[in-house]
């Protein structure tokens, strides 16, 4: 029974990754290029509303108690706002598939950092995985056919790598928080803190959204932030940090499909080769003899 429950957690993490893979499409369709902070503010505000509604529906007011790690919750909420801002900025500067692939160098960073910060055993294939991932970034930087209107830019590459670093830090923080903090507490405070942090900057933003833009933003906030966030945070408690990263490689893989279907981004050889190398890096760590699915 315990093994089935653990397998369910792994599948929930996979589901979250598949949902997040479509985020780039929604960001493009919202249509606020250059105003990523506005998108992040509303995404977190709507996500906060979703978590609040769930707390009220379940009458679990204890979820509003930050528990033993209020400062860590505060830091994770602010870092989440920063992470999404640079991620969305990279999406506007790069093809969606390239931006997501760069962001998902983060599992390699998690694999390297988890032994130091979480006491997880460093798996033997991690150095080889890191080498493959760096090679993958090199291929991605050449662009290939991809989205001709959005060639690979140095600024976009930098923001993509910054996205990876901030996401890795968020995974490490989440593993610490989930040792003794409720799922709803984490999701509510992360979204609420990010919303409050960005709120003072909103009066200085000038933007206009169509009805369609608001609809895409609503889905981004409820499904791809509120719902998927709760699923991921819930499952993360029992899934090894290094495996959280490895399973999340389903996001860049799915983003290529979403970009091709909805944004007419034809995957060039650079994206395909780079994606295969980065995915191979994740598989090397995930299938380590002492870890991987054998732990199920």
Quick check: is 52 in a domain?
yes
Higher pLDDT, 123 or 187: 187
Please report whether residue 1 resides in a domain.
Answer: no
CA distance 96 to 90: 8
Per-residue pLDDT, 293: 46
Distance CA 156, CA 65 (A): 39
Q: Can you read off the two tokens belonging to residue 37?
A: 């902070």
Per residue, the 3-state secondary structure of 139-203, as one string, reads HHHCCCCCCCCCCCCHHHHHHHHHHHHHHHHHHHHHHHHCCCCCHHHHHHHHHHHHHHHHHHHHH
101 in any annotated domain: yes
d(CA 162, CA 37): 16
Q: In terms of Cα–Cα distance, which of 86, 88, 57 is closest to 216?
A: 88
In a domain, 2, yes or no: no
Q: For residue 224, how many other CB atoms are within 10 A of its CB?
A: 21
Residue 227 domain flag: yes
Give the model's pLDDT for residue 252: 72
Residue-level pLDDT at 3: 58
Kindly give the residue spans of alpha helices, DSSP state H, lying in the chain. 2-20, 23-30, 36-58, 70-93, 96-103, 106-117, 126-141, 154-177, 183-198, 211-221, 228-236, 241-247, 250-263, 269-286
Cβ–Cβ under 8 Å, residues 185 and 66? yes
Residue 241 placed within a domain:
yes
Residue indicated by tokens 């054998």: 294
Average pLDDT of the chain is: 84
Residue 36 lies in a domain: yes
Write down the pTM of the prediction: 0.83
Q: For residues 231 and 90, what is the distance between their CA atoms, to the nearest angstrom? A: 25
Average pLDDT on 164-193 reads 95
Average pLDDT, integer, range 273-292? 67
What is the domain extent for residue 220? Answer: 8-295
Q: Considering the chain, what percentage of its residues have pLDDT values greater than 90?
A: 42
Q: Count structural domains, the chain.
A: 1
CA pair distance 217, 136, nearest whole angstrom: 31
Is the pLDDT at 35 greater than 90, yes or no?
Answer: no
Query: Does the structure show a pLDDT above 60 at 143?
Result: no
Q: Is 3 part of a structural domain of the chain? A: no
| Residues 218-238: tens digit of each pLDDT | 999 999 999 999 999 999 998
């Amino acid at each position: 029974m315990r093994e089935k429950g653990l397998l369910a957690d792994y599948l929930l993490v996979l589901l979250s990754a598949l949902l997040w893979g479509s985020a780039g499409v929604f960001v493009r369709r919202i249509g606020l290029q250059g105003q990523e902070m506005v998108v992040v503010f509303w995404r977190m505000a709507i996500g906060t509303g979703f978590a609040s509604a769930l707390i009220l529906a379940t009458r679990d007011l204890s979820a509003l108690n930050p528990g033993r790690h209020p400062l860590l919750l505060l830091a994770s909420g602010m870092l989440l706002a920063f992470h999404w801002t640079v991620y969305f900025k990279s999406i506007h500067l790069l093809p969606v598939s390239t931006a997501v692939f760069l962001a998902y160098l983060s599992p390699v960073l998690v694999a390297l950092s988890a032994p130091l910060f979480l006491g997880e055993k460093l798996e033997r294939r991690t150095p080889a995985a890191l080498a493959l991932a760096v090679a993958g970034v090199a291929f991605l930087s050449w662009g290939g056919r991809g989205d001709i209107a959005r060639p690979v830019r140095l600024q976009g590459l930098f923001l993509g790598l910054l996205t990876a670093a901030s996401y890795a830090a968020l995974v490490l923080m989440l593993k610490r928080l989930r040792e003794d903090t409720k799922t709803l507490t984490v999701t509510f405070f992360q979204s609420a803190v990010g919303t409050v942090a960005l709120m003072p900057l909103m009066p200085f933003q000038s933007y206009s959204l169509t009805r369609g833009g608001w609809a895409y933003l609503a889905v981004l906030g409820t499904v791809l932030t509120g719902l998927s966030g709760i699923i991921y945070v819930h499952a993360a408690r029992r899934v090894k940090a290094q495996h959280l990263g490895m399973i999340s490689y389903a996001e860049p893989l799915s983003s290529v499909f979403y970009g091709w279907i909805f944004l007419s981004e034809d995957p060039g050889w650079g994206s395909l080769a780079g994606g295969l190398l980065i995915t191979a890096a994740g598989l090397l760590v995930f299938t380590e003899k002492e870890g991987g699915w054998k732990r199920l």
